[in-house]
Structure 1
């Protein structure tokens, strides 16, 4: 079909895609603003302990209430955005670089493909959360150790995506033609294969970013991640789990911010997938 009728049929799907992407960018941008301007948006020091104000309900003075030692919950949630975004973006960037390198080598060099993929399969057989817990147990809990542990746990997924993309690109006519005229393997990778792996890499990296935020919160909730002295959404929820039935806001607010941030990243990832993959255009 062509003409106005086809355009009318395509319009709803394009509109839905654009709405999701716009919503994701808006939500993610809001969280980034909260993280960047936390000292201005926060009402008090998020680590300040005031036993007199412990377990206060939401009020004009404490918008989200206070926790069991009197710390302002609103300020802690706002500062917690910094930890989640730092972990998510850092893990996504490191996984993209490591996964790209591993995937390019595995997909381009047949002799190494089998060995690398068996190692990747072995790592992927362990759930990322369990692998991250095991790795953080080896090091002292800190922001850097959590980023490294989650990166090691999430890199195999990107490596497999890049490797699959390389294998499909390697069989295309223009790549075979370059090989036939004597182009070096390095030139083929840099000129023909690498640029065409970037769309799939960016999409997968966005999903890894969302997954890393969830894994970091789980680690902090279990006491195996960010130290309790650093405000993070996982730590806040861990502090309030024993008071869930009495003061549900201690868990509700950080969980809501985490859910909104993960939703925003996933919406952006879906939008990138639709824009960069022509097969999604319907």
Structure 2
């Protein structure tokens, strides 16, 4: 075989050959970046986050979205059908349903975000303590088990029966009902992390318990806690609507989706729009939060993450 020359100064010895370069079968795939890349990689986060931002916009800028006073009474204009004067119609007292629905978004979002925040903080503290201390675990978890044996809505109703109806008391009642579930989740994560080699090494080296908790345990609980907080937010909004619907939540003078539907249930068969519009807004908001939670779970968990 004749010698084949390579780059200058390199000669192939006789009897040897160089394989011809092969063509690439698969073309190079470039990861998509920017908004469309994020939308393709995490569509549920994009859709859920977009819907939630839309609801936040409606709640914050409700006075500037062609609304009226949601508590203004106009008996002469009661139960008007949706039209140019009343976009979502009027209720049995002549109040503008459109304005009441937009202002009602403030109550639902405030309750949802507040309950998610406070329940996460309290549940995180309880879960860290009970998961890392066997003595505290045997006492605290029995209390949490007792609270979890009661359905959250019944526990919230019982707590609201001891107080007067207000947004603050609704947040407090739902938070107490949701804390056991967060503490259970955090406790389970802590119990698994406590047996990891790096934690055992920290204990063996004489690291103090508070340092181990805040440096090694706490950062690894934030990801599942964030996902759980989104589902608590959605559950809190539904619970608030139920409490207001049965008259145990926010007072009637404060427009919320729950009491708007409660006031329209007597006219459901003849004036269904009074219940329909707040129910649609509540469903879209809860769907947005749940989609956001599902997307965060897929993005945080490497086993569920979508590969490009």
1:147 maps onto 2:162 in alignment: no
* Contact 2:113 2:233 survives alignment (8 Å): yes
Note if 1:115 corresponds to 2:139.
yes
Question: How far off is 1:98 after superposition?
Answer: 0.1
TM-score of the two chains, using structure 2 as the length reference: 0.86
Whole-Å Cα distance in 2 between the matches of residues 221 and 82 of structure 1? Answer: 17
1:77 aligns with 2:72: no
Residue 169 of structure 1 is matched in structure 2 by 193
RMSD (CA atoms) = 1.6
The correspondence for 1:242, drawn from 260, 263, 266, is: 266
The answer to whether the 8 Å contact 1:65/1:72 transfers is yes
Per-residue deviation at 1:61? Answer: 1.1
- Counterparts of 1:279 and 1:56 in 2: how far apart (Å)? 54
Larger radius of gyration: 2
Structure 2 residue 90 is the aligned partner of structure 1 residue 90: no
| Cα distance in 2, alignment partners of residues 4 and 105 from structure 1 | 53
After superposition, where does 1:1-40 map in structure 2 within 5 Å? 18-40=42-64
Point out 4+ residue stretches in structure 1 off by more than 2 angstroms: 14-17
1:143–1:226 CA contact under 8 A, matched in 2: yes
Counterparts of 1:190 and 1:124, CA distance in 2? 27
Q: What does residue 281 of structure 1 align with?
A: 305
Report the 3-state secondary structure (helix = DSSP H, G, I; strand = E; otherwise coil) of the residue aligned with 2:42: helix
For 1:249 and 1:4, locate their aligned partners in 2 and report how far apart those are by CA, in whole Å.
56
Q: Is it true that 1:159 corresponds to 2:159 in the alignment?
A: no
Alpha-carbon offset, residue 43 of structure 1? 2.1
Conservation of the 8 A alpha-carbon contact between 1:17 and 1:271: no
Kindly indicate whether the alpha-carbon contact (under 8 Å) linking 2:190 and 2:221 is maintained by their aligned counterparts in 1. Answer: yes
C-alpha displacement of 1:254: 0.2
2: distance between equivalents of 1:153 and 1:94?
Answer: 11
Measure how far apart 1:281 and its partner are: 2.1
Cα displacement (A) at 1:20: 1.4
Distance (whole Å) between structure 2 residues aligned to residue 208 and residue 247 of structure 1: 33
Aligned pairs for 1:186-265 (under 5 A) are: 186-265=210-289
Counterpart contact for 2:182–2:228, Cα < 8 Å = yes
More helix by share: 1
Q: Would you say the 8 A contact 1:17–1:274 is kept in 2?
A: no
CA distance change for structure 1 residues 66 and 187 in 2, over 3 Å: closer, same or farther? Answer: same
CA distance in 1, matches of 2:226, 2:119: 11
Supply the distance in 2 between the matched residues of 1:139 and 1:41 (Cα, whole angstroms): 35
Deviation at 1:4, TM superposition (A): 6.2
Query: 3-state SS of the aligned residue for 1:279?
Result: coil
Using the TM superposition, give the Cα deviation of residue 41 of structure 1 relative to its aligned residue in structure 2, in angstroms.
1.2
Question: Which residue does the alignment assign to 1:11?
Answer: none
In structure 2, distance between residues paired with 1:104 and 1:156: 13
- TM-score scaled by length of structure 1: 0.94
Aligned partners of 1:86 and 1:15: how far apart in 2? 28
Q: How far apart in 2 are the matches of 1:275 and 1:194? A: 19
